[in-house]
């Protein structure tokens, strides 16, 4: 699982000029899900997103997390985070497909809410053509990816 995390002053998602979700200060998280992702990847990203110290305290940078400051999080599903270029054309075959991806994304949102405060978790509209408006603060942008999981029977590195 991959996330592009942006510290924002404000962010919102619209679909066909209709407001879907909006937040004030907090994080905007673009979430990509690859075909082999599982609940283990969800747990890793949730834990890291909530613990990342991207905010100031008393003029000192990188001291507080979104959770420490009770800020909001706007999540946006984005399969294009798992692309490969074939010449000049992007290929998205590494991304998890439709319904399965939506189930894992919903699990991600649920876990965020369970680990934090569900009223502070907002999201776009899965699978829709969205406009994401981000007022980046800093700018601060962090790329995060869950570690590769060992498959059963796979040799362990020493």
As a whole-number percent, the residues of the chain with pLDDT over 90 amount to 92
Tally of CB atoms within 10 A around 17: 6
DSSP labels, the chain: -EEEEEEEEEEEEEETTEEEEEESSEEEEEEE-BTT--HHHHHHHHHHHHH-EEEEETTEEEEEETTTTT-EEEEEE-GGGS-EEETTEEE-TTBPPHHHHHHHHHHHHHHHHHHTTGGGEEE--TTS--EEEEEEEEEEEEEEEPPPPPPTTPPPP-
Are 131 and 3 within 8 A, CB to CB? no
Q: pLDDT value at position 152?
A: 60
pLDDT score of 38 more than 90: yes
Q: Which two tokens stand for residue 102?
A: 């939506």
Mean pLDDT rounded to a whole number for the chain: 94
User: Per-residue pLDDT tens for 72-116?
Assistant: 999 999 999 999 999 999 999 999 999 999 999 999 999 999 999
Q: pLDDT value at position 142?
A: 97
pLDDT score of 158 more than 50: no
Q: pLDDT value at position 155?
A: 53
Which domains does the chain possess? 2-145 (3.50.80.10)
At residue 150 the predicted structure's pLDDT band, cuts being 50, 70 and 90, is low
pLDDT score of 18 more than 60: yes
Average pLDDT for residues 26-49, to the nearest whole number? 98
pLDDT score of 156 more than 70: no
Residue 57 CB-half CA count within 13 A: 9
């Amino acid at each position: 699982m991959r996330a592009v995390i942006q510290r924002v002053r404000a962010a919102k998602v619209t679909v066909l000029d209709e407001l879907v979700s909006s937040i004030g200060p907090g994080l905007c998280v673009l979430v990509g899900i690859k075909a082999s992702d599982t609940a283990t990847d969800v747990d890793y990203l949730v834990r890291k997103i909530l613990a990342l110290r991207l905010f100031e305290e008393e003029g000192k940078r990188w001291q507080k997390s979104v959770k420490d400051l009770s800020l909001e999080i706007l999540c946006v599903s984005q399969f294009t985070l798992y692309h490969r270029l074939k010449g000049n054309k992007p290929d998205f075959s590494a991304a998890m497909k439709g319904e399965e991806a939506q189930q894992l994304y919903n699990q991600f949102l649920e876990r965020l809410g369970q680990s934090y405060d569900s009223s502070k978790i907002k999201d776009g509209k899965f699978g829709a053509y969205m406009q994401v408006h981000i007022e980046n603060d800093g700018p601060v942008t962090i790329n995060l990816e869950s570690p590769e999981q060992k498959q059963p029977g796979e040799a362990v590195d020493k």
